[in-house]
């Protein structure tokens, strides 16, 4: 009887040792697999894998790749369409009131009122396209001008302007400046009409409609 008990005890001990070895082997295998786990190990990458132990070269960086944008990210290698520009601050429809003076026989137009539309340039979003700036042509013959942006101001450099219906003389914008303030838009400008007469003016504007 005692011999039978000894055999059973030995068998149980062997079974316990065998199971312990299997569990130990399994733990070692799991640890080895974890230590070999590959993936992106760069914490700033879009596809960063905190469990990866070895970098497999798969890292990529989504962000704004346009260096002219306010949220440009130098590390980005995949543009995600998130770029933002100072030009967006100016976008909208404005009602302008201004006065202009000039011409060969100097005269002044006071208290003019008209509408301008300010939009981002479709090809160069850091710039603006302004329709009917300074109301050079009649409302029915609106023109477009291009402006660069510096913070809260947009700046028009010298450029030729032709009405959209192409039936009026070509004008020349000599310069123009628009600045956003807490009170609204402040404008100053100079231009030549189709006869070469010089005019200058200044005015104020209120944004009445944003443009998405």
Tally of CB atoms within 10 A around 31: 10
Note down pLDDT in tens along the chain; length 212 residues: 555 545 445 555 555 556 666 666 666 555 555 556 889 999 999 999 998 888 899 999 999 999 999 999 999 999 999 999 999 999 999 999 999 999 887 888 888 999 999 999 999 999 999 999 998 865 555 678 999 999 999 999 999 887 666 555 678 999 999 999 998 999 999 999 888 899 999 999 999 977 65
- Which pLDDT tens digit goes with each residue over 84-127? 999 999 999 999 999 999 988 788 888 899 999 999 999 999 99
* CA dihedral of 84, 89, 95, 97, whole degrees rounded to 10: -130
* CA dihedral of 84, 89, 91, 94, whole degrees rounded to 10: 180
């Amino acid at each position: 009887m005692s011999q039978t008990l000894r055999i059973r005890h030995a068998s149980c001990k062997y079974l316990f040792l065998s199971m312990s070895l299997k569990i130990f082997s399994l733990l070692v295998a799991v640890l080895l697999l974890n230590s070999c786990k590959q993936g992106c190990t760069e914490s700033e990458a879009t596809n960063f894998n905190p469990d990866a132990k070895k970098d497999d070269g798969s890292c990529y960086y989504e962000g704004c790749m346009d260096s002219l944008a306010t949220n440009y990210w130098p590390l980005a290698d995949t543009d995600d369409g998130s770029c933002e520009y100072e030009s967006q601050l100016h976008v909208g429809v404005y009602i302008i009131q201004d006065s202009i003076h000039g011409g060969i026989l100097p005269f002044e137009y006071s208290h003019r009122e008209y509408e301008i539309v300010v939009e981002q340039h479709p090809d160069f979003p850091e710039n603006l396209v302004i329709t009917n700036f300074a109301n050079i042509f009649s409302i029915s013959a609106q023109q477009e001008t291009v402006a660069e942006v510096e913070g809260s101001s947009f700046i028009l450099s010298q450029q030729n302007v032709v009405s959209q219906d192409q039936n009026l003389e070509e004008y020349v914008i000599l310069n123009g400046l628009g600045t956003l303030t807490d009170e609204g838009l402040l404008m100053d400008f100079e231009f030549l009409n189709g006869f070469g007469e010089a005019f200058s003016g200044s005015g104020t504007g209120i944004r009445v409609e944003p443009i998405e």
